[in-house]
Each structure stands twice: as C-alpha cells, then as structure tokens.
Amino acid sequence: MKKINVLIVDDSAFMRKLISNFLQEDSRIHVVGTARNGIDALTKIKELNPDVVTLDIEMPEMNGIETLRRIMNDAPRPVVMLSSTTKEGAENTLLAIQYGAVDFIQKPSGPISIDLHLIRNEIVTKVLNAGKINVVKLKNPLKIQETFTRRNEEYSKIVLEPNRNYKKIVCMGTSTGGPRALQQVLPDFPKNYPAPIVIVQHMPAGFTKSLADRLNSLCEITVKEAENGEFLNAGTAYIAPGGHHMRIKKIGTSLAVNIDEGESRNGHRPSVDVLFESIGEIKGIQKISVIMTGMGTDGSYGLKKLKESGQVVSIAESQETSIVFGMPKSAIETHLIDKVENLENIAGTILSLT
C-alpha cells in the first residue's frame, strides 16, 4: 500500500520533532519533510509534493491562515490545522476550514504543548483520513455571500417573542467538513422558519461557540450554542456545546435542551446518536433528520431509534458533495434514508416538507 507523504509545518523545532515521531510510528505514513514557517512551507511543497500538510496556525513571517490560502490557490492538497483553544484560535480554525482545511487538531496546552502525546492517536488518525480526501471538493466555493450582518453578541441572553407553537423539529449531525456544510445549508432557512433546528457537529469544547457565532452572522435564523435547560424556539438553530452531549426533552407542551458530560459514544461527545435517540422518544411531533459529511458511523444507530418513533423523514448528503462520505454512507446502508441530496439541495428539501 502506498504510504501517505506528509509535510509538517510548525515554527517550533520541538513540535516538528514530536509530530514527526508520532506519525512515523505508523507504517502507513512517511514524513517527507518539515518547515519552520509559511514561506518555508510553500517552498517545501514545491520541492517535496506531499500528499498531506499539517499546518500550525500561529507562526511568524507568514501565519497558517495565509499559508493555507496560498496552498489552496497554488497547489491544493489536504491540510490539517493545529490550533490553540483560545477564542482567537477557535475563530482562526473556523476561518481555515472555510478556506479549505480538511480538519483541525486542538493542541492540549498552547503553541508548544509538551503533553502532545495525549492526542497522538488523533494526530495519526486525522492525517490518515486526510490522505483519503478528494481535495477538489474542498476547493468548491460556497454559494453564499459573506455579508456579516453582525448581531448583538448577547443574543443568547435575549429572547424576543418566543415561538414554541411548532409541530416539527429538524435534527442534524455532521463531522469532518461539517462547518462548511452548515455554512451552506443554514443560510437558506428563512427567519420565520416554523421549527427549531438542533445540531451535533463533532468539535471539542471551546470551538462550538465560535462556530455558532459565525453561522449566526450569516443566517436569517438565529444560530447559537445550546444552553442547558433552555426551551427550543422556532426559527432558531442550537449547536451542541463541544465536549458535551445534547438531548432534547419534552416538558409540558415545550421542548427543552439537556446538556451533560456523560460517557463518549463511539469516541464522540457530542454524539449524533445520543441526540437522535432523545428525539426518538418525543411523541406527537414531525421529525426531520439530516446526516451530512463526516468520518465514521455516528448517527446511524440513532437513526434506527428515531425511525422506530414514526413521523420521521430522513435525509443524507450525497457522495458527490460530501467531503467525507462516511457518516452519510453508513446511514444510507441502514436503508432508512428517505432522500439522498447534494449539499446545495438539502435546505430546499427540508423547506419542502410540511
């Protein structure tokens, strides 16, 4: 089997050595070289033509974001970003995904993480997964215009005219490639969409708030990070907080969010299965489930439980538009998916369901 050739880009010699050691312990990976900054990286990419690049965001001379833009413009290939957990780090990570990065790795303790061994398996797995991705899909431009109509940053604390008189709920699950997919789908919903939308995007703690804020600035509906105990309103999308499961519970005639730090499900917290299972227990309401791009099988078991409850229309993203056709493929193989749609058609399909 052909090895995946990897270039490691980081301004820290210590980090370059550590990441190299981790990757080369796997027989399927060959580290072809390292670079100390973005300028060096662009030169090495021309010389070495790596299959995958790991790219630190915070670097002198040319930072990771500008380097990524140059890579995707001049010599596109799968790029995995390494990021800190600060607010700025999270925002830069989402920007990197928008520009074409396939995935990101959260450094445990800042730019120079001496405890990087804690995520050794994650680094190896994400590089291997990146080596399987069709980079052409990452280069496809998003159709929406970034108008950034900034809203009040305190939107999560202000609820104007709550609308809980809804008869359906939309639940979405996604992983690798998900932020881009959500940025394509959610802006197509009108402000007065008559149902709440609940979303699990596989992300660690510290990143989902920035994702919600970014999506909120692009959408007519409100998009927010879900808060424990809050009631769901129509015309609002709720993203499960990173590192926490999200369940939906019926309280009286309303639906409410329940957030917990229970055991990971198949390595995921938040888990799509957990969300879907909780919605499957709710009676007397139409359900629309959507599974989009992502590695693995999360959501398929939950889909089975959801379908047992009846009144469910299930949608999966097509192979043609999925950055990673893992989660959608697994869902389709359950034979419980009603519609397979290209990404740009998913919102329209949901809106057509009454």
Q: Give the model's pLDDT for residue 112.
A: 64
Average pLDDT over the chain, rounded to whole? Answer: 89
Q: Give the model's pLDDT for residue 149.
A: 42
Quick one: which of 50, 48, 66, 35 has its CA closest to 5? 50
Q: Give the model's pLDDT for residue 143.
A: 53
Q: Give the model's pLDDT for residue 155.
A: 42
Q: Hey, do 4-139 and 157-352 end up sharing a CATH topology, with the first three levels equal?
A: yes
Q: Give the model's pLDDT for residue 158.
A: 45
Residues 62-118: pLDDT tens digits?
Answer: 999 999 999 999 999 999 998 876 667 788 888 898 888 999 988 876 656 667 778
Q: Which residues, including other chains, have CB under 8 Å from residue 202's CB and lie 6 or more apart? A: 174, 175, 176, 178, 268, 270, 294, 298
* CATH 3.40.50.180 for domain 157-352: yes
Place of tokens 């499961």: 245
- Per-domain residue ranges for the chain? 4-139, 157-352
Please give the positions annotated as active site: 175, 202, 298
User: Where would I find the H helices in the chain?
Assistant: 13-24, 38-48, 64-74, 87-99, 120-130, 135-139, 178-185, 208-218, 272-280, 300-308, 327-332, 343-352
Residue pair 300/334 in contact (Cβ under 8 Å)? The answer is yes
The list of the chain residues with pLDDT below 50 reads: 144-159
User: Domain 4-139 class?
Assistant: alpha beta
Entry pTM: 0.88
DSSP secondary structure letters along 84-145: -SSHHHHHHHHHHHHHT--EEEE-TTSSS-TTGGGGHHHHHHHHHHHTT--HHHHHSPPSS-
